[in-house]
Structure 1
Amino acid sequence: MDFDWTMALGSFVVAIVVGLTGMGGGALMTPMLVTFFGVSPLTAVSSDLVAAAVMKPVGSAVHYRQGTIDLRLVAWLCAGSVPAAFSGVLVARALGHGDGVQELIQKAMGVALLIAAAGLVVRGVQSSRRRNAPAGGSPDGAGSGADGVPGIKVRPVPTVLVGLVGGLVVGITSVGSGSLIIVALLALYPALKANQLVGTDLLQAVPLVFAAALGHVLFGDFKMEVTAALLVGSVPGVYLGSKISAKAPGGLIRRALALVLVASALKMFDVPVVPLAWTLVALAAATVAAWLVQRRRSAPVAAPGGERVPAPAGQGT
């Protein structure tokens, strides 16, 4: 099989999103391989995880230097996610390699993608509420040091459980190391800033995807030619995305990513093109309407003396 430069370009674009938001690796890369390049679901999962084992350290190294990682959370997450990820591979292996298994994995990917899209919506709502909270602490994106984030009290048991569930899903579908776990992190630790969430999630994903990748190399359907194309695009892409993450319009990226996740999920369920297109049009229209309402609420209002002051409601993300 010749080297596929189109696949490399696609992985470059996806990796930029990963570096910017900490999301979209397996949630975008694996469906891209299945939908646009005809790769079987199990091969796509295996090859994507091996590529992610190289890609994730690049992005996490950038965030580590910027001081946007909480090593305490990383340690507790990995305590659950690493063994669960390897176990997820064994679960997929135990199911076999027939067409029925490939279809089951594809449907599992669809469910995981829908959960990830819903998680993005939850993250946006929580971020909007946090903008309305009294200001305090370091500004969004500011470094906090690698040891921990000031004011964050670690909750070991729920953090390990998040790692367990996320690791199992990643091992089976390759989806979740960013899109699912980062949303759970925000729910558990709403005081974390956006870049602290991304940096912490990227670093915890390194041993997670290594464990899953090792399992897929040993027991999955790993294809070197697919992985090579992914690596050529994803390594520079995730580095670029991580470098510019502090200045990226995170809210816009999350909205677009949610639409892509829904589209990918519907494709995993073999939804015909016409219903798929109308569904996305409806979701896009609803997104624009919600954004307009939010802008209207956050627009400045006239003070008694004619001076315009910000409205009480903060802008959402």
Structure 2
Amino acid sequence: MIGLAHAGLGALTGLAIGLTGVGGGALMAPALIFWFGVEPQSAIATDLWFAVLTKLVAVKAHHGEGQVDWQVVRRLWWGSVPVACLVVLLVGHGVTLGKPEDLIASVGVLVIVTGLGLLMAPHLLKVGRMRRLGRPERFKAVQPVLTVVGGAGLGFCVALTSIGAGALGSVLLMYLYPLRMTPHRLVATDIAHAIPLALVAGLGYLWAGKVDGSLLLDLLAGSLPAVLVGSLLSRSIPGRWMQILLATLLLVAGMKVLKGVV
């Protein structure tokens, strides 16, 4: 029998992913840990597979409209996937990257950074446009390298906490590609990058037996229809209002996470 509370959380997160590309890790991981009492590594592992399967539905809807910028996605992959593989390899071989409370604190910090990043998105976009238009040749020369480096940072965050591919990735792309990324293309490109990244990280946790299959099915029962609806609505609903709402939720959730480990 489907757990209605879990399905409801999945639906809320799936709708956010479809509309903005954000919400997989940043919303799901804190909710599973603090609202449902799921053990941190199990919450991260289950969340990674939730993100993979939910975003597959979303990217199919967006790709059908030709919105994914595959050149940018490949640049991100060059940085994110190898770093995620390295982190998963270390964890799989028993290397401890921190105490459980340190892991929870990392989740809280990243959720707060994600919320702040969403609030500051217009300013970062403005700065990116000024740099792009003011020194176009220099900006374009460093774009690929900065994209790979930024992808590496996202890979580390996602493999360790399941957080970062959505909101932090979208903020990064807004700054590095201020003229190229329309709101719809930004969502589609960010989602396309996140899928193999979450898959690589999720495989390591699956091998370690950390994925809660029953919980995952409950979450997907809510998220798969909702993410499709969100993807279809993403062109008609102002993305900025969704960003502000998500940022508020993330800041509250992040502070709650940190309060729980202090």
Q: Which category of TM-score, normalised to the shorter sequence, fits these structures?
A: 0.7 to 0.9
**Partners in 2 of 1:248 and 1:205 — Cα distance?**
23
Structure with greater proportional helix content? 2
Percent of pairs with identical residues: 35
User: How far is 1:129 from its partner?
Assistant: 7.8
**Partners in 2 of 1:126 and 1:163 — Cα distance?**
18
What TM-score does the superposition give when structure 1 sets the normalisation length?
0.73
Supply the RMSD in Å over aligned alpha carbons. Answer: 2.4
User: How far is 1:86 from its partner?
Assistant: 2.5
Matches within 5 A, 1:104-183: 104-126=102-124, 155-183=143-171
Is the 8 Å Cα contact of residues 34 and 44 (structure 1) preserved in structure 2? yes
**Partners in 1 of 2:112 and 2:256 — Cα distance?**
11
Three-state SS of the structure 1 residue aligned to 2:164 is coil
Residue matched to 2:82: 83
Q: Which runs of 5+ in 1 are unaligned?
A: 132-151, 273-317
Deviations 1:194-230 (A, max 9, x none): 1111110111111111111111111362111111111
**Partners in 2 of 1:103 and 1:219 — Cα distance?**
20
Q: 1:271 to 1:38 in 2, by over 3 A?
A: closer
Is the 8 Å Cα contact of residues 54 and 224 (structure 2) preserved in structure 1? yes
User: How far is 1:90 from its partner?
Assistant: 3.8
What TM-score does the superposition give when structure 2 sets the normalisation length?
0.88
> Which structure is larger by alpha-carbon Rg, 1 or 2?
1
Q: Aligned pairs, how many? A: 250
Asked whether 1:223 is paired with 2:212, we answer yes
Residue matched to 1:13: 12
**Partners in 1 of 2:239 and 2:141 — Cα distance?**
25
Residue matched to 2:199: 210
Tell me which of 173, 177, 180 is aligned to 1:189.
177
Residue matched to 1:288: none
Is the 8 Å Cα contact of residues 107 and 163 (structure 2) preserved in structure 1? yes
Greater RCO (Cα-Cα under 8 Å, separation 6 or more):
2
Q: 1:103 to 1:159 in 2, by over 3 A?
A: same
Is the 8 Å Cα contact of residues 113 and 264 (structure 1) preserved in structure 2? yes
Tell me which of 232, 242, 245 is aligned to 1:256.
245
User: How far is 1:118 from its partner?
Assistant: 1.7
